[in-house]
Structure 1
């Protein structure tokens, strides 16, 4: 018989605890082995029960979910899924939790609407199953502050490709999903302010959370990071994060390129979609592109990568299995045989810069 996934449910609301327990207990492969009302109780129960996965509310009395997450990941690293409210402060705390080692998050049902509850239930069950397979050694690995080479020519082999030359304009596009906020922090904070390229980012996330992600990365980085807006003109040294629930489409206006937000249907369940962004980028013939696929579930990005590679000069970098929280999207990209470099997360910013020469 298959071993069940043992879950600890942490929430200060008795109603929410019951709701989450009921949701999870309906899934035969999941067993709820305990509940806790705050961070202090959570730490005690984790030590005693050793669950496979924890669902954790962020806002709780005595000790909140962020503090409990930090202590649990130091003492007994366990995959944690945060339950978040969609308020501004809720979104900000969720991003901090993700960058501090939470595997994923689910937004709390916003009311007794049955449709909303069913959607949350399915999402929660899927995320608990995925979280149970995560290697916590990778999650708890400290983030690296790379020393970017001041004179990279001496220490990095310059790509010697006839089609890849210094004078052509460059565009960097990055796709990520589960584990992405933490991976993006490591890559984006290590890019120099002087980088001569715009950066487009698709991180699978619901509306309301991408702005908090952009603001947090902006506060930590040398480059400017913002949530993409309709009509933004691409500028070097600026990273544009696709808003939750919108695809990123690029439009040419003479020598300038602008972003338009596209609300056409999700692709493989995702809006924003990495495939959609890569396909749009593939139409810009005057740019050489650097495409990066980071940690994430599924295969988003691999179809778009094929289109990118068929249209112009593209260097593709995939995160290695060695550092990925979830080796789905990079694995799928590597399977196309179109990836030029497979790198551990801490090497990716330097690999991007190698192709900026």
Structure 2
């Protein structure tokens, strides 16, 4: 089997050497070159034609975000970002995901991470996964610039309409997919929207803030004990499970740190299973791009509870078709649609 060819981009010679050594430990990976800034990265990507690029954000001459934008415009390739966990680092990482990066690895201790070995296995796994990602699914509005979408339609106030709740689960490729969906929902949508995006602590707040700035609905990181409101999307904080409880006719968010499920915290299954216990609500569940099968067990529970419509993202637009595929194979999906039609289906089910 041919090896996955990787170009390593970092302005630190030490970090380039460290990343190269770690990736080279995998028999499935060959580091074909390194670059010390974004300009050199673009030149070497055109010359060496790697399968995957690992890209640092903070670099001289041309930074990682600008390099990423140019790369996705001219030579679309799977890119894995290496990012710091500072607030600015998290914001840059979320921007990079919108520009087309497949995934990211958080450096344990800043720009020069002497303890990078702590994320060695994660780095190897994410590079291998990125090599199999559907780069064609990452259409960039040509430049990667973000525009507010037009709302689909406004909701009519209907008396005695059954109460609804929307829940969304996603992983690799999810930040861009969520942007496609949440920015198209009407601001007066008659349901709260619960979201689990697999992401470590420190990054979900930046994701929520960015999506909130682009969307007609409100988007925020979920807080423990808060009352859920229609027209608001609540994103599970990284490192915490998100559940929904029903108390005295109102829904509240529960944010907690019970053990990870299938290696994930937050877990889509945990959210979906908690929503399956809501008796007098109609549920709309969405499963989108991501590796693995998180969400399928929760969807099975939702379908058993009744009053549930399940939407899965189509293979043509999913960056990684693992999570939707698992749900489809389990026969718990009502409709499969490409990413650009998911918001429309959510709106249809909520209004119906």
TM-score w.r.t. structure 2 length? 0.94
Q: Note if 1:125 corresponds to 2:119.
A: no
Distance 1:166 1:176, change over 3 A: farther
Q: Note if 1:48 corresponds to 2:42.
A: no
Query: In 1, distance between residues paired with 2:65 and 2:153?
Result: 37
1:326 paired residue number:
320
Displacement of 1:322: 1.1
Is residue 155–residue 188 contact of structure 2 (8 Å, CA) maintained in 1?
Answer: no
Name the SS of the counterpart of 2:129 in structure 1.
Answer: helix
Is residue 163–residue 282 contact of structure 2 (8 Å, CA) maintained in 1?
Answer: yes
Write out aligned runs for 1:271-282 (5 A): 271-282=265-276
Q: Note if 1:66 corresponds to 2:60.
A: no
1:185 paired residue number:
179
Displacement of 1:56: 0.2
Q: Which structure 2 residue ranges, 5 or more long, are not aligned?
A: none
Q: Which structure 1 residue ranges, 5 or more long, are not aligned?
A: 154-164
Query: In 2, distance between residues paired with 1:144 and 1:310?
Result: 39
2:232 paired residue number:
238
Displacement of 1:12: 0.6
Query: In 2, distance between residues paired with 1:58 and 1:211?
Result: 19
Displacement of 1:150: 3.5
Query: In 2, distance between residues paired with 1:21 and 1:346?
Result: 38
Query: In 2, distance between residues paired with 1:273 and 1:144?
Result: 30
Q: C-alpha deviations, 1:263-310, integer Å up to 9, x for none?
A: 011001000000000001111111100000010000000000000111
Is residue 35–residue 41 contact of structure 2 (8 Å, CA) maintained in 1?
Answer: yes
Query: In 2, distance between residues paired with 1:132 and 1:76?
Result: 15
Name the SS of the counterpart of 2:161 in structure 1.
Answer: coil
Displacement of 1:118: 3.8
Q: C-alpha deviations, 1:132-177, integer Å up to 9, x for none?
A: 1122221135489765554899xxxxxxxxxxx9711000000000
Query: In 2, distance between residues paired with 1:137 and 1:148?
Result: 26
Q: Note if 1:295 corresponds to 2:285.
A: no
Query: In 2, distance between residues paired with 1:70 and 1:330?
Result: 28
Name the SS of the counterpart of 2:194 in structure 1.
Answer: strand
Distance 1:301 1:121, change over 3 A: same
Displacement of 1:312: 2.6
Write out aligned runs for 1:82-93 (5 A): 82-93=81-92
TM-score w.r.t. structure 1 length? 0.92
Distance 1:214 1:152, change over 3 A: closer
1:156 paired residue number:
none
Distance 1:306 1:124, change over 3 A: same
- The total of aligned residue pairs comes to 344
Is residue 144–residue 186 contact of structure 1 (8 Å, CA) maintained in 2?
Answer: no
Query: In 2, distance between residues paired with 1:177 and 1:7?
Result: 23
Q: Note if 1:209 corresponds to 2:203.
A: yes
Displacement of 1:256: 1.1
Is residue 170–residue 290 contact of structure 1 (8 Å, CA) maintained in 2?
Answer: yes
Is residue 204–residue 235 contact of structure 2 (8 Å, CA) maintained in 1?
Answer: yes
Is residue 197–residue 235 contact of structure 1 (8 Å, CA) maintained in 2?
Answer: yes
Name the SS of the counterpart of 1:44 in structure 2.
Answer: helix
